[in-house]
Structure 1
Amino acid sequence: MSRTHHALHVVASLTSCLLLSACDQQTAPSASDHQPVVKTNANSALPSQNNSRDIRPAIKLVISKMLAGTYAENCSYYKGNELEGLAKGESISLGADGSIKSSRGSVNYVTALSSEFGVLIDRQRTQLASKFDLKDPVNGGRTYLLGVATLDGTLSGATLTNDTQPSGSVGIGCAGPTPAAFTTNVWAEVMPHVNFAKVSTACITIKGESKGKLEIEASNSTLVIGQEKYTANDKRLNENISVSDDGNNPGISYTFPNQSGGSYTLSTNLDGNFESLLILKDGDMVSCSKS
């Protein structure tokens, strides 16, 4: 195996190890730690493109635009978890509209139902990890798994696994361009969809200890948390955005650094209204919800 193919295999392994590790929304780490993952149940409803109050399709498009490109370098075939061989002349094409095209399957990951849908961007280390686990809306079984990763700014790759074949899981992995995510102002793309009047929240630690109240509001791409204000002009080295298609808890979660050296994870419901705020700093976790 050539050095480049070996490096691509490392990216695929990174996708498998980082992106497949589950991380509950309730205990989400800071954006510098792990890939965002939102678990959903098998009976979730597909996001409605016609529901003007459902922000999930718009946020999914923000993410798909950040990862769009044609990955066509040093491709390899996979069968199950095993490397099957080189795939000369192949490619994985990711459209800004969420379309995926490859010889091992084609699907739109924006309009499909997903059990996990998220991306982590670490600009400080030029690393990116993403996972899009698509599922059958009837039985909840996996249909496709897409992962896009960048390793230390030196190599980017995409892997696509097709689980719809009677013969078993087949996949393809290719190296390609550095995603536009690193130069995208994610806040400016996401926060216009998040608007809610000032809410008073009660904050507690994981042990149930009260941490008082905190007022939070969002409008015109500005988020105010207590005395702190966050806007699209702020520099963010780490960001973590995920979308939940869970029928019981649909919405989005957005993790970003806060002004005290920790991180906030803002969660909204499907229409962009406040759901909860998670505060992480020095290993301590505080959860704030409407009081």
Structure 2
Amino acid sequence: MNSLDEEVRQLLHEGKNIEAVLLVHKSKGCTLAEAKKYIDKLKDDDCNWKNPHKNRSWNIEYKDGKPEHITFTDATGTHTATPGSPEWTAILMEATQTGNRKSSHTESGNKKNLLQRIFNNKVSGVFICLELVCILLLAILYIYPSYFGLHTREGYWGLFLHIIFLLSLVWIICIFYRDMRKKEQRWYYRLFSFVIATGTTFAVVILVHDLTLDLIEHDVRSYEGTFSLRVYTHYKRSNDYTITWEGDTLSSDRQHNISYAHFKELEQYRTVRVTYWRHTGLVWSIEPLEKK
């Protein structure tokens, strides 16, 4: 940028338009009309720099936190801005505004991320509470009452526990599907989560299908005769006590769960009458008949 442009801008800034035209006329040796066009073009260029929507790029070099050197590129090429010139001032203003916009956007994004984290933490907290409630219900109703003579594995208690068991499987599916969608997890862990979640989903679909048929049809069957008892131990702590009999071809699950109290009582008998649902195999009632 030459000194003539700076002198012309100073005169225009002071409102001395005629003096500015005469200065260009004398300095460049052109006609007054050409000098007027030169000044008009200079005004347009200055207006363009004040318009933040014009396409241009610039680079600012700082020293000790202060701008030392500014270069900019426009349609006419690459130029160096003079300190204190309109280009220099306009670039610094635009850089400040751009920085403020980025800062505001970052603060807004951080606030949004914070709210999202708070929401996720609340949801996770509720989810964890539901998990603990399910585990507590299973521990209280599924295992211990039968040791005190309560028949919690048959009838409506058994139906309730069966539904709790299905909800627990759904909870497991949600956990593994959630882990599968975490991009920060390694691929083999995500694949493992997918396999477990998919397999459990198929199991839940089958169990829900059988339960739905029993609830709709209420197809209650009865068996009378000899039987066998068996205990299945899980993780060396909890046991499943089951009753089976020959010729049981109706139930999808031939291992019919019974309570510990009935299990100990039936050890003294040879025959029994069992009423059960056809599809789920859920036992509704047990009546010991003939002792050994």
TM (norm. structure 1) is: 0.24
Higher relative contact order (CA 8 A, sep 6+): 1
TM-score of the aligned structures, taking structure 2 as reference length:
0.24
- Say which structure is richer in helix: 2
> Which structure carries more strand by proportion?
1
